[in-house]
Structure formats: C-alpha cells, structure tokens
Amino acid sequence: MKKIEARKLKGFADYSGTTMSLRSQIMEEVRRAASEAGFIALQTPALEYAEVLLGEGGETDKQVFMWEDNGGRSVALRYDLTVPFARFVAENGNLQMPYKRYQIGDVWRAEKPQKGRFREFCQCDFDIIGADTLSADFEVILAIMKVLTRLNKGTFTMTLGHRDVLGGLLKVFLPDVFQSPNGESACLIVIDKLDKIGPEKVVNELSLISGATREGAQDLLALLQKRDGEGSDLAAIKASLVSDEVATAALGRLESLLDLVNAIDMPLSVKLVADLKIARGLAYYTGVVFETTLDSLPSFGSVSSGGRYDQLTQRFVDRELPGVGGSIGLDRLVAAFEELGVLENTKRAGVFVVLASQGLESWAFQAAEFFRAQGVLCEVSLKPSKLAKQFALADKMNRAYAMVIGEEENSSQTVTLKDLSSGEQHSKLSLKDALKLLKPEL
C-alpha cells in the first residue's frame, strides 16, 4: 500500500523536548508579568474575515494567508495579535477603559522562511487600549522587560523611538518631502536602514526622494548619528525641534520613559536606549515605537517590538481609542537561544518506579499516588523488563531517584529508593520516610 509521506509545510514546525520546555517557560513568565500588572487574558480566533486584517495594501498585506472558505467567505489567518485585538475592542463597546489584555497565540505570515523566521509562530502580546499616557506606554515596555529579564538567558537592548519626533525632524530638514503623499514614509523606511547600509547610502537614497535635498539629508543624518552615551543625543534633537510642539512633546515622553525605567528598583537585563531612527514596525504605529535585540545575537533581528497605535480601532469604529502594545516573538526568541546554545539540560527530577516483577501494580500505584499527592513527579515503569533496563531508563529520563517495588517491598508495604546521582540506596523505607528523602523541606 502506498504510504503517505510524513512531512510538514515549509515554515511550520513541531516543537518537543527542551525546545518545548523553554517555550512553556516563556509563556509562564508572560502570564506572570501580565497578572502582576493586571493584564487580563484574551483569546481570539485564528481565522478572521480577510477585510478585518488587511490594511491599505501595504507590504504586509501580501504576507497574509488568505483564501475563500467553503461557504464562499474571504477569510485570512491572523497576521498578528494586535489587529484582531483592535477588532475585539471595536466589537465590544462595553469594555472598561483603559483595557489591558495579554494574549499568547500563533500568527501566520506567508513569507519565505529563514532562520528565526517562520510562517507560523507564537507571539506574546501586552496591549493597553483607551489610555494615551506615559504610564500606559511604560506598563507595556516594563512587562516585556520583566519577561526577558526573568528568563535569565541573556541581555537585550531595547531601542526606543518616536514617529512624531522623527516626523518633526523631517519637517525641519526635509520639509518639501511632505508635498508628495508617500514622501514621509519613504524617508522613514530609508532612515531605518541606517545601521545596515551606512550613512552615505542613506543620504544617497534620501536624495532620490522627491523634495529632499542632499544637504538636508546630510544634516539630518549627522544629527541622528550624534550620540549621548549609548542613545541619540536628545538635547541636540530637542534644540532643532524648538518650533514644533508636537515633536517636542513626543521627545519629552521619550525622556520620561527613560527616566521611569531608570527609577525602577529592579535589575533588568534589558537596556533601554533612545534611538530616533527607529521608525519601522507595522504601518499602524503612530507614536512611541521600539525594537528589542539580543545583545549576543543582534543579527537575529528583533525578538520583541511594539509601539503606540492611536488610530487602529478607527478602522472599525469612530470612537477614539488610543492603544499601545508590544509583542514578544516567542519562537524567534527560542530559535535565538537555541543558536546560542543556552538551552538548559533537563535537570534530574522526580522518581522512576521500577517494577521487579509482574503483579505489583497495585502497591506501585498506591505508592506513586502517595508521592504524587505531595507534588513529587512520579512515573511508573510501563514496560516490565529486566531491572537493569528499567534503571537505565530511569537514568535516561533524568529522574533523580529510582524506586524499586519488588516482592519484598510489596509484602512489607515499603519502597526501596536509590539516588541516581550518588548511587546511594535506602532499602525498604516506609512511604513517610521515603517522602522525607524526596522532599526534605516538608
């Protein structure tokens, strides 16, 4: 009979073993950070009406998985968690504002897969809608920083920018680009490439944009490259924005965010750095934007990013619902950690119950359940075989103890415990005495 080839679609992956443990660990930290700050959980469907997800024909629209369903509806797999969230908020007018939610879920993008880049991947989002405040921006950023810090697997740099500041600078240095409809965003895209292609090329590319002058571009680049410590020279930028109230206010917000982070009395392994050239992110961002990279693997790209999106819900309703959110790219983060080789080997834990002969299941499970009830991982050998085999299996499964149940233990209602690290063995212990060894703290 012809066999079906066991295979997966490109860009899709199975996760198991240590990779899956790390994924679970990250999700736990996300839930923890969320509940600490009162973000509530939300789950939305994977599939949405295509029109809900599609923007104005931008680059990202091309990467939306989309098809006609069996009922003739045009449907699409969600591209991110933010747009469906905006749909949810628009659809539920009775939410108590500000509304804070977190969400862990898979998203799909029809891209060409690469390392750390998948067609299906998990994002962990924190969003706040209904509050255009510094505190809202900060809660989102802080939550992400805490998650990354608590993973304890590396240090990160979060670069912080603001669309209004960059917009203000463009008005000063390249005012005439605003005469064409896409002039501003064209400039932002080019400026964002600064680190990658260098200032000369950026100036060249900027000069090609209608309305831009070479001199203006050079001055702008010079200003953006000025450093004050690790970040942009905010004082110099502020000096060029004096006449622009919006941009000055935006800059003030950035400074306040930096101050807030510095005031937090908690060691963070994420360094927050202002860098005004950060412009990207999705098209719907309107204010603060940020990207986060792993210090030891910056080439992997952003493992977390986000920003303020004050107009997103207006796709659906007239109400003004300012929003801010950030996302941790769980699978990219995991891939980066794997690349770095920082996945922990599973530690020895728990008990493996070795059965010396058949017919001992009753006592074995009584004992196992006794320990399980105390929170001890306890697995019973499922295939009776030679003792040596079962011990080897206990070792391979990384159990801390092997517990032997044989005729003697059965008749005396005891267990024999062997510490698999030290080789030390304690024969015929009562369940209580065994528990003292397994959980000394009790």
Partner RNA sequence: GUGAUCAUGGCGAAGCGGUUAACGCACCGGAUUGUGAUUCCGGCAUACGUGGGUUCAAUCCCCACUGGUCACCCCA
Sites of contact with RNA (CB under 7 A):
9-11, 59-60, 63, 80, 109, 111-118, 121, 123, 189, 193, 196, 280-283, 291-292, 299, 301-305, 327, 329, 331-333, 356, 385-389, 391-392, 394-396, 402, 404, 406-409, 416, 418-423, 425, 427
Instruction: Please identify, using beta-carbon distances, which residue of 11 and 199 lies nearer to RNA.
Output: 11
Give every CB contact of residue 312 below 8 A, 6+ residues apart in sequence: 82, 83, 86, 284, 321, 323
CB of residue 375 to RNA, shortest distance in Å: 22
Q: How far is CA 329 from CA 102, 335, 352, 365, in A?
A: 14, 10, 36, 42
Sheet holding 304-308, edge to edge: 40-41, 99-108, 120-129, 323-329, 304-308, 288-294, 156-162, 270-274
Rounded to whole angstroms, how far apart are CA atoms 240 and 29? 42
DSSP state of 269: S
Instruction: Please identify, using beta-carbon distances, which residue of 161 and 329 lies nearer to RNA.
Output: 329
Three-state SS for 160? strand
Instruction: Please identify, using beta-carbon distances, which residue of 52 and 387 lies nearer to RNA.
Output: 387
Strand 74-77, strand 99-108: pairing: unpaired
CB of residue 48 to RNA, shortest distance in Å: 17
Strand 304-308, strand 231-232: pairing: unpaired
Instruction: Please identify, using beta-carbon distances, which residue of 196 and 432 lies nearer to RNA.
Output: 196
CB of residue 77 to RNA, shortest distance in Å: 13
Rounded to whole angstroms, how far apart are CA atoms 202 and 133? 33
Instruction: Please identify, using beta-carbon distances, which residue of 172 and 280 lies nearer to RNA.
Output: 280
CB of residue 125 to RNA, shortest distance in Å: 9
CB of residue 240 to RNA, shortest distance in Å: 26
CB of residue 81 to RNA, shortest distance in Å: 10
Instruction: Please identify, using beta-carbon distances, which residue of 117 and 372 lies nearer to RNA.
Output: 117
Strand 270-274, strand 156-162: pairing: parallel
- Please give the span between the terminal C-alpha atoms of the chain, in angstroms, as a whole number: 58
Instruction: Please identify, using beta-carbon distances, which residue of 86 and 241 lies nearer to RNA.
Output: 86
CB of residue 188 to RNA, shortest distance in Å: 9
Instruction: Answer for the pair 77, 49: CB distance below 8 angstroms, yes or no.
Output: no
